[in-house]
Amino acid sequence: MTTSALSPPPGTAPRPPLARRALCAGAVGNFVEWYEFGVYGYFAPVLAAAFFSPGGTVDTGSLLGAYAAFALAFFFRPLGALLFGHLGDRAGRRPALLASVAMMTAATTGIGLLPGYATAGALAPLLLTVLRSLQGLAAGGEFGGAVAVLTEFAPPGRRGRYGAWQSCTVALGLLAGAGTAALLATGLTQGELYGWGWRIAFLLTLPMGLAALALRARLEETPEFRPPDRKRERSAPADSGAPEPEPGPGPVPGPHRTAPARPGREASRVAAPTPTPTPGLARTILIGAGRIVGWSGAGYAFLVVLPSHLHTTLGASYRDALLATVLADLGFAAAILPAGMLSDRVGRRAVMLTGTVLVIVLALPLFALLREPGVPAAGKAGAVLLAGALVGLLAGPGPAMLAEMFPARLRCTGLGVAYALANAVFAGCAGLAITRLAQLTGRGDAPALYAVAACALSLPALWTLRSDDHLEPLR
């Protein structure tokens, strides 16, 4: 195998400038993608009126229609993770990242140009759903490639910190989306916002996406990526080494975890093509998805669904609901990098278990503060800040934890599909489930109940994490 002049030799630590450039290129696409997903969530009532209501009004039926299109995009994420993950594991991380951000940029710009129900009739929600599906495909491919780039370029002992930048740019993208929505809601009249102002937020994705493409076009390939070489595979000797074991839910225990491979074995590993999914890989993907269920469910309950819930269920003004979400996103963003860095010292298990238990214990009391009319504004602001920070404890170590579960030849696909599955079920359905739960029970703390349930489900899978996985090299 020949090594590209742009890539470090396989197995060597990347030079600091390459690591910093990879951090920027990997992170900027996440920012663009999650800005859009945040904008859709924050403008859900506006989109419900524009695309799902013949009369241009917001009611439970039209809001459920908007959330159904939101959820559908998440169910396309696993397919996107498979398609783009296969591309990233076969052709390289760089082309996969370029393709995902290009598709997201085109689909999001298209939403900003779509005619509404008043113009296109029943075709309007159909076209919106098609573009949302393309966004789901793109977002499904983004996570695996970005996390692979960030963790594979990370200096020794800093995978948690570098991987946390993926989550941090998610937070910054959501924050930018919330800030944009809040500015538009403040600067425009309600008629202007519902008529055309919401389109500005979606069209802003075009220049951001073009900037992300320019950065990623200059990205070098990671030191861990080894492209399949079928010609060498055919000429490799039969006794070149034992086959690599199937991936498990973490690094293989024992001395073989750190022992260097024999030259023959390394040649065999380089030559081996990316295999089709196996039962061992499927089990690892399910465990990985289980470990981030709490992150997915609590994150969307507190950071994306919250403004619509406060506005439509608790009667808060749309502007105040968006401002509350900005505060939650600030708490989320502030906690992510410290949590990732802490996980490099004490382990992913300790930090993620702590965050999960805190969400279970504190979610309902924090939401009670938001609903209590006698609580001063500063107390309510502190509650939403803390709620966002609790999710940050899960999101900081999460990317590195997933990257450490899979070998390099399957990393883009494995961690991407695990993340996409958890988000498809527990994030994509968050808006539908919370809205329906509030409608059936009349409870105003439905988002907190949803977050508690998701975190409780993730506890058994998180318990299986080894306390020293963060100390081992990537496989």
Closest to 60 in 3D by CA, of 391, 418, 309, 423? 309
Asked whether the beta carbons of 411 and 154 are under 8 A apart, the reply is: no
Specify the amino acid at residue 116.
Answer: G
Residue 243 burial (CB count, 10 A): 10
Asked whether the beta carbons of 179 and 356 are under 8 A apart, the reply is: no
Whether the per-residue pLDDT at 352 is higher than 90: the answer is yes
273 — pLDDT class (breaks 50, 70, 90) = very low
CATH code of the domain occupying 16-225+276-471: 1.20.1250.20
Helices 159-187 and 318-346: angle between axes, nearest 10 degrees: 170
Q: What is the mean pLDDT of residues 183-200?
A: 88
Whether the per-residue pLDDT at 456 is higher than 90: the answer is yes
Helices 60-75 and 123-152: angle between axes, nearest 10 degrees: 40
Compare 8 and 208 and report the one with higher pLDDT.
208
- Could you tell me the residue ranges of all domains in the chain? 16-225+276-471
The pLDDT score that the predictor gives to residue 19 is 63
Closest to 51 in 3D by CA, of 120, 117, 114, 133? 117
17 — pLDDT class (breaks 50, 70, 90) = low
Place of tokens 């990205």: 219
Classified as helix, coil or strand, 307 is helix
Asked whether the beta carbons of 307 and 447 are under 8 A apart, the reply is: no
- According to DSSP, residue 238 is labeled T
Q: What is the mean pLDDT of residues 277-294?
A: 83
Asked whether the beta carbons of 167 and 336 are under 8 A apart, the reply is: yes
Place of tokens 């969530």: 41
d(CA 300, CA 44): 13
Q: In sequence order, what are the residues at sequence separation of 6 or more whose Cβ sits closer than 8 angstroms to the Cβ of residue 321?
A: 306, 307, 308, 309, 310, 311
pTM: 0.73
Q: In sequence order, what are the residues at sequence separation of 6 or more whose Cβ sits closer than 8 angstroms to the Cβ of residue 254?
A: none
d(CA 341, CA 363): 25
d(CA 475, CA 193): 50
d(CA 301, CA 298): 5
Highest mean pLDDT among 255-264, 332-341, 367-376: 332-341
d(CA 203, CA 180): 12
Q: Report H helices in 241-376.
A: 263-271, 279-291, 293-303, 306-312, 318-346, 348-371
CA dist 152 to 84, 145, 146, 248, 469, Å?
A: 17, 10, 10, 19, 15
Compare 216 and 106 and report the one with higher pLDDT.
106
Q: In sequence order, what are the residues at sequence separation of 6 or more whose Cβ sits closer than 8 angstroms to the Cβ of residue 451?
A: 294, 297, 298, 301, 302, 359, 363
Classified as helix, coil or strand, 245 is coil
Classified as helix, coil or strand, 475 is coil
- In this structure, of 134-143, 252-261, 337-346, the range with the lowest mean pLDDT score is 252-261
Kindly report the average pLDDT of the chain as a whole number: 79
Q: In sequence order, what are the residues at sequence separation of 6 or more whose Cβ sits closer than 8 angstroms to the Cβ of residue 301?
A: 430, 434, 447, 448, 450, 451, 454
Q: What is the mean pLDDT of residues 442-446?
A: 79
**Which tokens in the block code for residue 54?**
């013949």
Place of tokens 């393709």: 99
What secondary structure does DSSP assign to 331-362, as a single string? HHHHHHHHHHHHHHHH-HHHHHHHHHHHHHHH
Classified as helix, coil or strand, 219 is coil
- In this structure, of 185-189, 309-313, 395-399, the range with the lowest mean pLDDT score is 309-313
Which helix (H) or strand (E) is 150 found in, with range? helix 123-152
Asked whether the beta carbons of 307 and 322 are under 8 A apart, the reply is: yes
Percent of the chain topping pLDDT 70: 83
Backbone angles phi, psi at 262, to 5 degrees: -70, 155
Whether the per-residue pLDDT at 255 is higher than 70: the answer is no
Specify the amino acid at residue 245.
Answer: P
**Which tokens in the block code for residue 158?**
């800093």
Highest mean pLDDT among 11-15, 132-136, 393-397: 393-397
The pLDDT score that the predictor gives to residue 227 is 67
